[in-house]
Amino acid sequence: MSFRKALLAATIIAAPASAMAQNGAPPVTGLYIAGGGGANWLMDRTLEGRGGNRGYFNSLPTTSYGESRQNTGWVGALSLGWGFGNGVRAEVEGNYRENNVDKFGGFGGPGRTSAFNRIDGDIRQYGVMGNVFYDFAFPGLPVQPYIGAGAGYIWTEYDGVRATRAQAGGSTIRIDDTDGRFAYQGIAGLAFPISAVPGLTTTLEYRYMGTLSPRLEGRITNPAGATIARGSFKADEAENHSVMLGLRYAFNQPRPAPAPIAAPMPAAAPAPARTYLVFFDFDRADLTDRARQIIAEAAQAVSSTGTTRIEVAGHADRSGTPQYNQRLSMRRAEAVAAELTRRGVPRSAMSIQAFGESRPLVPTADGVREPQNRRVEIVLR
């Protein structure tokens, strides 16, 4: 099995591994942008001389073969994507690669040498890819590995590619053309979250990108520059190996909760706090009859115990996104506070907070509906 097939197969097999723990770095949720650049190695490419070139190269009506070798070049990519909050991401990417042609050989035949000199020109590859990623998360690990695969359309441009035969009076092969073909890629990377800027991450990636064989028009010129033969060149499938450094910014990553401020210790020992739990139906913030009964008991205790501070804290289970659950828990807290006010408790005496899914009464995995976590806690101090 070739290297690229093995890499793509490993990507496809490993992508559904959603059983990996998601309690390390937070998964990307919502819109993000990414970009990066680095070094690109375009592997040796075989060229088939076709049409009018065939007889010229080897004096026979058959396809002639040559090969080009490229210097190390560069690559850049920009992408716009969406994270689904469970480790899976999808994005659209634009990319550009450029490598200079370093050596040229082949196209030999009776009485002709395969040596070339005066080699010049660039091979550029650019286009659009659609990628799918899976981000792994491991507890306590400051880096997040990920893998991905993509497919799209890449244009291959031979710009000023030329090679002159080494013998005296040798002719020159010239290729100046562009052709677009289907492309595919496999990606393996490491993400390093920057804690000082929530949502910002540096990335280090290896990429393998291949394209189907482009067909390019070319010609043969004599030392005076006159065209003596025309034809086409079919390049074999491109194989690119790239190493890239980049940045990724997720717009909706949850911000860390502010550090709690310790209340000053009173001179006398405080009376024990009383806690009342008000539960809610799934994805609801309206009060049930039982909930109103519990709130009434809490309101009565406020007046009978001389309570000086009332804490109303809303919570949600882990079904849904953290952002939605934060809003839902606030609606629940506001509903309880309104009922307390209706029963004579001054709103100015209440501290109303929402904790979303961050403080479950019963710890669960992400996405689990847990009735005891859909609650508002009324604490009388």
Consecutive 10-residue averages of pLDDT for the chain (381 residues): 46 39 68 97 89 56 81 97 94 98 76 70 97 90 94 96 82 92 97 92 97 92 87 90 97 70 63 86 92 91 83 93 93 93 90 92 91 92 83
Residue closest to 331 by CA, chosen among 309, 316, 351, 349 = 316
Query: What distance in Å separates the CA atoms of residue 312 and residue 354, rounded to the nearest whole number?
Result: 8
Tell me the β-bridge partners of 180.
Answer: 155
In the chain the domains, ranked by start, together with CATH numbers, are 3-250 (2.40.160.20), 274-380 (3.30.1330.60)
Q: Are 273 and 380 in contact (CB under 8 A)?
A: yes
pLDDT of residue 381: 83
Query: What distance in Å separates the CA atoms of residue 238 and residue 179, rounded to the nearest whole number?
Result: 13
pLDDT of residue 377: 93
Residue closest to 68 by CA, chosen among 187, 169, 216, 179 = 216
**296: which 2 tokens?**
């009434």
Report pTM. Answer: 0.61
Tokens 């070139």 sit on residue: 53
